[in-house]
Structure 1
Amino acid sequence: MNAIDLLVDSVGRVQENVHTVVNGLGQEQLGHRLDPEANSIAWLVWHLTRVQDDHVAEVAGHEQVWTAQGWVERFALPFGPRATGYGQGSAEIAALGAVSGELLTGYYDAVHASTVEYLRTLTDDDLDRVVDTRWDPPVTLGVRLVSVIDDDAQHAGQASFVRGILERRA
């Protein structure tokens, strides 16, 4: 297995986790918050998808799936098209309470397909390319991709935790 195959496998695991956590839940469960400041499953899945879409599109040099494929209009959220969830407060988190599981997984699947398509264009040597000089040391493509996968896995785990609590309460 080479590094690209490893990255493809890793994003595939995120996709599996997204589907596992969302499947079978209604909008009320997806939007439920354990307390008034907590993230909902819907927000966590939307956010992890937006971050993957944003970061991969940037390094790939293409438009985000969010805007290119019309997901921004389908979600019809009350914030700008560049929003990814960073810095959002309680009101923005609550806005995701009205989305369906099909919408969330549909968007994730589209981002996943775009990510895998991009990854399949890379070689192991490409992973050493510097993509962000704002950090010390500068961030390479490989580090950026692993960072996205790590962030996605953490948020999918958080969403899974929330689902577990909801299932225990039921």
Structure 2
Amino acid sequence: MNSADLLTDAFTRVRETVHSAVEGLSRADLHARPDEDANTIGWLVWHLTRVQDDHVSDAAGAEQVWFAGDWATRFDLPFSKEATGYGQSSADVASVRVGSDLLLGYHDAVHEQTLRFVRGLDDDALDRIVDEAWSPPVSLGVRLISVISDDLQHAGQAAFVRGLLERR
């Protein structure tokens, strides 16, 4: 197994967790909040997908799926089209109100673009510096692991919220 295979497996696990957290849920379930300021399943999945799209597209030198596939227009969110969810308010979280088909469609499109990129990587590519704004500068390998880590955390949070909903 090589690095590309490991990255493919990791991003595929993210997709599987996202699908299991979202599939079969009503729009109301996707937007339910365990308390008044908690993140919703819909927002968590939108956010983790936006971050993956933003970071992987940047590293790949590709256009974000969000814009290339006109997902920004389809989601029609009441904030900047460039937003990824980072630092958003509770009101912003509540405003991400979309159905599971749209949410999973966008996630799957980002997943496919991500896999096209990572499948073409060799071990040497992972040392390339992709962000010099940090000390030390961030390599492609570190950036991809960071995205996977954040994605799995948010997907797990979405699965937890789903579990709460199912226990009601």
Match of 2:41 in 1: 41
Residue 143 of structure 1 is matched in structure 2 by 142
Name the aligned partner's letter for residue 60 of structure 2: A
Q: How does 1:1-170 map to 2 (within 5 A)?
A: 1-96=1-96, 98-169=97-168
* 1:3-46 deviations in Å (ceiling 9; x for gaps): 11000000000000010000110000000011111100000000
Which letter maps to 1:66? W
Of residues 23-32 and 120-129 in structure 1, the stretch that sits farther from structure 2 once superposed is: 120-129
Q: SS where residue 115 of structure 1 aligns?
A: helix
Tell me which amino acid in the other structure corresponds to 1:147: S
Q: CA deviation at 1:65?
A: 0.2
TM-score for both structures, normalised by structure 1: 0.97
Aligned AA for 2:34?
A: L
Gaps of 5+ in 1: none
Task: Specify the code of the residue in structure 2 equivalent to 1:36.
Answer: E
Amino acid across the alignment from 2:44 = L
Render the CA deviation track for 1:63-89: whole Å, top value 9, x for unaligned: 100011010011010011110001110
SS across alignment from 1:94: helix
Please state how far the C-alpha of 1:90 moved relative to its aligned partner.
1.2
CA distance in 2, matches of 1:168, 1:41: 15
Shift of 1:138: 1.1
Distance across 2 between alignment mates of 1:47 and 1:110: 15
* Alpha-carbon displacement from aligned partner over 1:115-170 (angstroms, at most 9, x marks no partner): 0001122111100111111112111000000000000000000000000000001x
SS of alignment partner, residue 136 of structure 2 = coil
Identity of aligned residues (%): 61
In structure 1, C-alpha distance between the alignment counterparts of 2:33 and 2:89, rounded to whole Å: 13
Which segments of 5 or more consecutive residues in structure 2 lack a partner in the other structure?
Answer: none
Matched to 1:57, the amino acid is S
**DSSP 3-state at the match of 2:130:** strand
Q: Matched residues in 2 for 1:60 and 1:81: separation?
A: 20
Distance 1:120 1:24 in 2: 30
Question: Normalising by the residue count of structure 2, what TM-score does the alignment of the two structures yield?
Answer: 0.98
**Across the two proteins, how many residue pairs are aligned to each other?**
168
Q: Secondary structure at 1:131's aligned position in 2? A: strand
Inter-partner Cα distance in structure 1 for 2:94 and 2:28: 11
3-state SS, counterpart of residue 125 of structure 1? helix
Report the Cα offset of residue 62 of structure 1. Answer: 1.1
Post-superposition, which runs of at least 4 consecutive aligned residues in structure 1 deviate over 4 A? none
Structure 1 vs Structure 2 CA RMSD: 0.7
Q: What amino acid maps onto 2:3 in structure 1?
A: A
